[in-house]
């Protein structure tokens, strides 16, 4: 089975930096994914880490430590449109693309 | 490029009834996964289909079943509906073997069971 934990809610100020943490325990591991989901919309892919370290993509970065079962998503220069739920997901089974999601972190960006 | 489309977008059923949800995968994708997302929760993996066969299943009872067709589109069937089945049902398509395992989600079908 798998257990994925992330904070339920976070609030941050426009222009600031926010870090959303995710810890996981899983049997079988094929990568750590972050998805963004605006209210009433489909989840959209943000990042993928399969090796330890930091992956940077514009304002968003994602970090993975496999030995610690830990990842974080870092959002810089926050914009109001970044208000959304951020879903941490563990990939299982090479090639099968089965993702197991956490409950998501609802981020609210305030002026 | 055609994205993932699902139908219907909203529907209401009563306890004990049966429902069929449909999904057209993104052009070129051969794998379809179904997820259930309850309000305020993350998506929960139901099952995945590849080459018309089930290729992995989450912790859902047998009354949740599916099909994949030769054109890679898919159906999710739920029998003997229960109140707790009320949720957003998301379909996601992908290639079975990718570098990133990225899933492309449809907008979902919102099911309400009364």
Residues of B in contact with A99 (CB under 8 A): 33, 43, 45, 101, 103
pLDDT class of A54 with cuts at 50, 70, 90: very high
pLDDT in the model for residue A94: 54
Q: How many CB atoms are closer than 10 A to CB B108?
A: 25
Percent of chain A with pLDDT strictly greater than 90: 80
Beta strands in A27-110 (DSSP E): 32-37, 44-49, 53-57, 60-65, 70-75, 84-92, 98-101, 105-110
pLDDT in the model for residue B68: 95
Mean per-residue pLDDT, B30-34: 92
Residues of A in contact with B35 (CB under 8 A): 101
Residues of A in contact with B97 (CB under 8 A): 95
pLDDT at A96 over 60: no
Mean per-residue pLDDT, B100-109: 89
Nearest C-alpha in B relative to A43: B105
Distance from CA of A98 to the nearest CA of B (A): 7
pLDDT class of A93 with cuts at 50, 70, 90: low
Token pair recorded at residue B68? 């994949």
Q: Kindly tell me the burial class for residue B41, based on how many C-beta atoms sit within 10 Å of its own C-beta (0-12, 13-18, 19 or more).
A: middle
Query: A48 and B105 in contact by Cβ < 8 A?
Result: no
Inter-chain contacts counted by CB atoms under 8 A, chains A and B: 69
């Amino acid at each position: 089975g798998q257990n994925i934990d992330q904070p339920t809610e976070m609030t941050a100020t426009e222009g600031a930096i926010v870090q959303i943490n995710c810890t996981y325990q899983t049997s079988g591991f094929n990568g750590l994914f972050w998805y963004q989901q605006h209210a009433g919309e489909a989840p959209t892919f943000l990042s993928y880490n399969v090796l330890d370290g930091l992956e940077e993509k514009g304002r968003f970065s994602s970090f993975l430590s496999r030995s610690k079962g830990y990842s974080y998503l870092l959002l810089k220069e926050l914009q109001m449109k970044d208000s959304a739920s951020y879903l941490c997901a563990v990939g299982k089974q090479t090639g099968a693309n089965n993702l197991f999601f956490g409950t998501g972190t609802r981020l609210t960006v305030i002026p | 490029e055609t994205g993932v489309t699902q139908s219907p977008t909203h529907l209401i059923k009563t306890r004990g009834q049966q429902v069929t949800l449909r999904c057209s995968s993104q052009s070129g994708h051969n794998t379809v996964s179904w997820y259930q997302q309850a309000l305020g929760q993350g998506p929960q993996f139901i099952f995945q289909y590849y080459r018309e066969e089930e290729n992995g299943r989450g912790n859902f009872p047998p009354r949740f079943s599916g099909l994949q067709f030769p054109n890679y589109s898919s159906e999710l069937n739920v029998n003997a509906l229960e109140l707790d089945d009320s949720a957003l049902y998301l379909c996601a398509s992908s290639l079975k073997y990718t570098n990133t395992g990225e899933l492309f989600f449809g907008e979902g079908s919102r099911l309400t069971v009364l």
